[in-house]
Amino acid sequence: MKIDILTLFPEMFEGFKNESIIKRAIESKKVEINTCNFRDFAKNKHKKVDDTPYGGGQGMVLMCQPVFDAVEHLKKENSKVILLTPQGKTYNQEKAYELSKEEHLILICGHYEGFDERIRSICDEEISIGDYVLTGGEIPSMVITDSVVRLLPKVIDDASHLNDSFNNNLLDYPTYTKPRNYKGMKVPDVLLSGDHAKINKWRLDKQLKITMEKRPDLLKGKISLEKDGIKKSKNKIYLDDIKDIKVTEILPKKKKTGKYKIEKTTKAIAVTVFKPNQIKGYKLKGKNNNKGLAKILIVKNEFISKIAYKNVLKKVDVLARRFNAALNSDEDDDDTSRVLGEAEMLRQMIISMYANYLGAKKLDEIINNINRLVNEFVKNKTMKNSLLPKENTKSTMRM
């Protein structure tokens, strides 16, 4: 592979190219890394590469001509030209693997306040290494070069990068070396057992836990269950009876209907990790025929709150309908006593069973709503009883 880096500061790359794995890769001719100062391609007397922006504004902008000529000088039929810019797609390990298959990369480092918009026209792709601002594209070009070079054949042992963080959308598992016991911190027994099947299962378990704790966003839509044991397939990880792993959230349908359902076991679901007896969770019965997934224990607080609030609103709605039925019933005393008793029971049940899930704000909202229904019912019932019996007037409460 060949990598050409267009930069105004080639001296920044001297240490980068002459240390560690990058140095060995260059010496073994696995990669050729060159820096090109596109100031050398400027045609003006003072080798100027920037100018003030049309329309006014702060700072200086890189000019087209030096960059265009530098790219034209370096570009071959198999070249891929990449512009390093905050507007590009965010760089990740998947993109690193993709770029490692290219024969020739040309990386353009921006500087100052940006570059002439027309420079984009000669680029095949735009990449950003994150949502923050740097003084130039030199450090991003080093990041991309380092991540790509280490993936080239025989630069490092293939097994080393196959277990890297972000492969299969998981962070790396913990590793240990001698001594076995350091200041009371012992190496896990399973790593000393010699049982590679157990070690592999332990490592996958740890990868899942660490990823969920530190980067749960990486797991979204990537985890599914299978009964016959731990298996791997492209873009998915299958789990079976790994301790401390529980199903937490059933992903919604693509159409936002407000309803959630249990998908088939081959579909993706989200998982989270928690310590036994630390979180009780919220039990929910699934409405489908998939054995083994009829009941779910949700432990993700945001999802618990959403489901609990929805269930409580349904119960309050039922209470309101019963109030209306009692308001128009001829059996005044019995129906009035019964429905007021139901309201009190519902109020106490919500406080005792749902308070931890709803939070103070939503709990107050629900209790106030029940109190409002009770007061309105009593007011309407009193008004109805004060009317003449022959009027037989029906009343309706506001929902």
113 noted as active-site residue: yes
Query: For the whole model, what pTM was predicted?
Result: 0.55
Per the residue annotation, which of 113, 126, 263, 376 is the catalytic one? 113
86 carries an active-site annotation: yes
pLDDT recorded at residue 301: 67
What's the pLDDT tens digit per position in 109-138?
988 778 999 999 999 999 999 999 898 999
Q: Residue 349's pLDDT is what? A: 85
Among the listed ranges 102-106, 263-267, 313-317, which one has the minimum average pLDDT value?
A: 263-267
Annotate the chain with three-state secondary structure. Answer: CEEEEEECCHHHHHHHHCCHHHHHHHHCCCCEEEEEEHHHHCCCCCCCCEECCCCCCCCCEECHHHHHHHHHHHCCCCEEEEEEEEEEEECCHHHHHHHCCCCEEEEEECECCCECHHHHHHCCEEEECCCCCCCECHHHHHHHHHHHHCCCCCCCCHHHHHCCCCHHHCCCCCCCCCCCEECCEECCHHHHCCCHHHHHHHHHHHHHHHHHHHCHHHHCCCEEECCCCCCEECCEEEECCCCCEEEEECCCCCCCCCCCCCCCCCCCEEEEECCCCCCCCEEEECCCCCCCCCEEEECCHHHHHHHHHHHHHHHHHHHHHHHHHHHCCCCHHHHHHHHHHHHHHHHHHHHHHCHHHHCHHHHHHHHHHHHHHHHHHHHHHHHHHHCCHHHCCCCCCCC
**What percent of the chain is predicted at pLDDT more than 90?**
39
User: Which residue is catalytic, options 150, 203, 205, 249?
Assistant: 150
Instruction: Report, as an integer, the average pLDDT of 283-298.
Output: 48
233 against 341, higher pLDDT: 341
Q: How high is the pLDDT of residue 299?
A: 52
Per-residue pLDDT tens digits for 74-108? 999 999 999 999 889 999 998 999 999 999 999 99
For residues 315-330, average pLDDT = 83
Question: What pLDDT score does 381 carry?
Answer: 74
Q: Which of 10, 39, 69, 86 is flagged as catalytic?
A: 86
| 334 catalytic per annotation | no
Read off the pLDDT of each residue in 338-358 and give the average, rounded to a whole number. 83
Q: Return the pLDDT at 145.
A: 98
Q: What is the pLDDT of residues 187-219, one digit of tens each?
A: 999 999 999 888 988 888 888 888 888 887 776
Active-site residue identified among 69, 98, 146, 164: 164
